[in-house]
Amino acid sequence: MLQDWRAVCAAATISSPIAQAEVQRTWRKPMAGRVKCNIDASFPIKSNRVGIGIYIRDEHGAFISAKIEWFTPKSEVHVGEALGLLSAL
Protein backbone atom coordinates (compact mmCIF):
# COMPACT_ATOMS: atom_id res chain seq x y z
CA MET A 1 0.00 0.00 0.00
CA LEU A 2 2.88 2.34 0.77
CA GLN A 3 4.39 1.65 -2.67
CA ASP A 4 1.07 2.49 -4.34
CA TRP A 5 0.84 5.73 -2.37
CA ARG A 6 4.38 6.73 -3.36
CA ALA A 7 3.68 5.92 -7.02
CA VAL A 8 0.55 8.09 -7.00
CA CYS A 9 2.38 10.94 -5.30
CA ALA A 10 5.21 10.68 -7.83
CA ALA A 11 2.75 10.69 -10.73
CA ALA A 12 0.95 13.73 -9.29
CA THR A 13 4.17 15.75 -9.28
CA ILE A 14 4.98 14.90 -12.91
CA SER A 15 3.43 17.34 -15.35
CA SER A 16 3.73 15.22 -18.50
CA PRO A 17 0.72 12.95 -19.28
CA ILE A 18 3.11 10.50 -20.95
CA ALA A 19 5.25 10.25 -17.82
CA GLN A 20 2.12 9.78 -15.70
CA ALA A 21 1.01 6.87 -17.89
CA GLU A 22 4.26 5.07 -17.05
CA VAL A 23 3.14 4.57 -13.43
CA GLN A 24 1.54 1.15 -13.44
CA ARG A 25 -1.34 0.24 -11.18
CA THR A 26 -1.77 -3.46 -10.75
CA TRP A 27 -3.97 -5.32 -8.34
CA ARG A 28 -1.93 -7.21 -5.77
CA LYS A 29 -3.46 -10.11 -3.95
CA PRO A 30 -3.77 -10.09 -0.16
CA MET A 31 -2.05 -12.60 2.09
CA ALA A 32 -3.54 -16.10 2.23
CA GLY A 33 -6.76 -16.24 4.23
CA ARG A 34 -7.43 -12.53 3.84
CA VAL A 35 -9.57 -10.46 1.49
CA LYS A 36 -8.91 -7.17 -0.27
CA CYS A 37 -11.42 -4.36 -0.43
CA ASN A 38 -11.02 -1.73 -3.16
CA ILE A 39 -12.96 1.51 -2.69
CA ASP A 40 -13.43 4.49 -4.99
CA ALA A 41 -15.55 7.60 -4.94
CA SER A 42 -16.97 9.56 -7.87
CA PHE A 43 -18.13 13.16 -7.94
CA PRO A 44 -20.42 13.73 -10.95
CA ILE A 45 -20.26 17.34 -12.15
CA LYS A 46 -24.01 17.74 -12.74
CA SER A 47 -25.07 16.03 -9.53
CA ASN A 48 -25.09 17.05 -5.88
CA ARG A 49 -24.02 13.62 -4.64
CA VAL A 50 -21.05 11.31 -4.16
CA GLY A 51 -20.96 7.83 -5.67
CA ILE A 52 -19.14 5.09 -3.78
CA GLY A 53 -17.99 1.81 -5.32
CA ILE A 54 -16.76 -1.09 -3.18
CA TYR A 55 -15.37 -4.38 -4.51
CA ILE A 56 -14.11 -7.28 -2.36
CA ARG A 57 -11.96 -10.17 -3.65
CA ASP A 58 -10.14 -13.07 -2.06
CA GLU A 59 -6.44 -13.95 -2.33
CA HIS A 60 -7.09 -15.60 -5.72
CA GLY A 61 -8.79 -12.51 -7.12
CA ALA A 62 -12.19 -14.20 -7.01
CA PHE A 63 -15.23 -11.97 -6.50
CA ILE A 64 -16.77 -12.01 -3.02
CA SER A 65 -18.99 -8.94 -2.84
CA ALA A 66 -19.60 -5.51 -4.36
CA LYS A 67 -21.65 -2.48 -3.43
CA ILE A 68 -22.59 0.86 -4.94
CA GLU A 69 -23.95 3.64 -2.79
CA TRP A 70 -24.82 7.33 -3.22
CA PHE A 71 -24.49 10.07 -0.59
CA THR A 72 -25.82 13.61 -0.67
CA PRO A 73 -24.73 16.35 -0.66
CA LYS A 74 -21.53 16.35 -2.70
CA SER A 75 -18.47 16.61 -0.48
CA GLU A 76 -14.75 17.19 -0.77
CA VAL A 77 -12.72 14.29 -2.16
CA HIS A 78 -11.18 13.21 1.15
CA VAL A 79 -14.63 13.17 2.79
CA GLY A 80 -16.11 11.13 -0.08
CA GLU A 81 -13.30 8.59 0.12
CA ALA A 82 -13.77 8.38 3.91
CA LEU A 83 -17.49 7.75 3.40
CA GLY A 84 -16.55 4.88 1.09
CA LEU A 85 -14.30 3.38 3.72
CA LEU A 86 -16.98 3.76 6.40
CA SER A 87 -19.55 2.11 4.13
CA ALA A 88 -17.18 -0.79 3.41
CA LEU A 89 -16.55 -1.37 7.09
Domain ranges, ordered by start, for the chain: 32-88
Whether residue 40 contacts residue 88, with contact meaning beta carbons closer than 8 Å, is answered with no
Whether residue 71 contacts residue 25, with contact meaning beta carbons closer than 8 Å, is answered with no
- Cβ-in-10-Å burial (0-12, 13-18, 19+) of 28 comes to exposed
The pTM of the whole model exceeds 0.85: no
Neighbouring C-beta atoms of residue 50, cutoff 10 Å = 23
Q: For residue range 10-26, what is the model confidence (pLDDT) as tens digits?
A: 766 665 555 545 556 77
Q: For residue range 38-76, what is the model confidence (pLDDT) as tens digits?
A: 999 999 988 999 999 999 999 998 999 999 999 899 999
Torsion angle of C-alpha atoms 74, 75, 81, 82, degrees rounded to 10: -120
